[in-house]
């Protein structure tokens, strides 16, 4: 049995994109990090994507995970992933800080979340809608977790989700690739960094040329 045209349609890119940078924090990339991934290449790719968005005049929104001092607002999530306690208020190490050289600009929104999706119980959807955004370009970590959940929820909130292959990362290459395949089949358009940059970069791109709403 074959699925034919049942999967992998295209949502495309609207005229008002925003880049959402998901949880690009020190815990995943700095030596000794409690969630350290095997490669830092996604950091450079995210930086390139953010540069293109800023140059094109498109919003950039960042997410971080934060909990109260006892991580009581993490619910059962912190029992499933005990390393999340490193994101509690007052936890040593500063692992929840955005990893260098990435840094939100003063005018860019930082959304604080407690669970995987950048949309769950946060102001993200309202923030994007108020800016007139119709397309969410997702980068960050991890591909199988917060990126996947955020891209899926973007679709469910009525945005066109694009996931940038090189600008995401996971605990293994297999997890990364398998989840990209499934995202592209059902929930988002998975695109290469060069394509995403071209779409953000100007009037010739699918997403380019639209002014920001005031």
Domain boundaries, the chain: 17-200
Mean pLDDT, residues 192-208 = 77
Q: Which residues pair with 162 in a beta bridge?
A: 137, 189
- pLDDT tens track for 11-22: 999 999 999 999
Q: What is the pLDDT of residue 4?
A: 62
**pLDDT, position 115:** 98
Token representation of residue 144: 């199988």
The domain made up of 17-200 has a fold known as Rossmann fold (3.40.50)
Please name which of 23, 13, 15 lies closest in space to residue 61, comparing C-alpha atoms. Answer: 23
Is it the case that residue 2 has pLDDT exceeding 70? no
For residue 126, what are its two tokens?
């309202």
Distance separating the N- and C-terminal Cα atoms of the chain: 51
Cβ atoms of 161 and 188 within 8 Å: the answer is: yes
Tell whether the model's pLDDT for residue 202 goes beyond 70: no
Instruction: Please report the DSSP string for 79-147 in residue order.
Output: HH-GGGGGGBTT-TT-TTSBPTT----TTSEEEEESSS-SSTTSSHHHHHHHTT--EEEEEEE-IIIII
| Start-end of H helices in 116-214 | 124-130, 148-156, 173-186, 193-200
Which range has the worst mean pLDDT, 104-118, 144-158, 188-202?
188-202
| Cα-to-chain-centroid distance, residue 183 | 13
The active-site residue out of 13, 46, 139, 146 is 146
pLDDT score of 203 = 44
For residue 45, pLDDT beyond 60:
yes
- Closest to 135 in 3D by CA, of 108, 113, 166, 158: 158
pLDDT in tens, 119-154: 999 999 999 999 999 999 999 999 999 999 999 999
- Position 52 pLDDT exceeds 90: yes
> HEC string of 9-70?
CCCCCCCCEEEEEECCEHHHHCCCCCCCCCCCHHHHHHHHHHHHHHHCCCCEEEEEECECCC
Whether 146 is catalytic is yes
pLDDT at 5: 79
Q: What average pLDDT does the structure give for the chain?
A: 93
């Amino acid at each position: 049995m074959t699925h034919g045209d049942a999967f992998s349609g295209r949502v495309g890119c609207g005229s008002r994109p925003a880049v959402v940078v998901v949880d690009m924090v020190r815990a995943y990339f700095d030596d000794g990090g409690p969630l350290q991934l095997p490669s830092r290449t996604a950091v450079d790719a995210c930086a390139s994507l953010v540069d293109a968005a800023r140059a094109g005049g498109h919003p950039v929104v960042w997410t971080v995970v934060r909990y109260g001092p006892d991580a009581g607002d993490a619910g059962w999530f912190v029992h499933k992933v005990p390393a999340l306690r490193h994101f509690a208020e007052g936890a040593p190490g500063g692992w929840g800080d955005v990893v260098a050289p990435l840094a939100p600009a003063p005018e860019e929104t930082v959304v604080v979340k407690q669970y995987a999706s950048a949309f769950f119980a946060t102001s993200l959807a309202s923030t994007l809608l108020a800016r007139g955004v119709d397309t969410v370009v997702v980068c960050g970590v991890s591909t199988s977790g917060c990126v996947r959940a955020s891209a899926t929820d973007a679709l469910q909130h009525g945005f066109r989700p694009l996931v940038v292959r090189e600008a995401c990362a996971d605990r293994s290459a297999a997890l990364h690739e398998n989840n990209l395949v499934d995202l592209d089949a059902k929930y988002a358009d998975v695109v290469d960094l060069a394509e995403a940059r071209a779409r953000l970069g100007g009037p010739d791109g699918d997403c380019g040329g639209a002014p920001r709403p005031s």
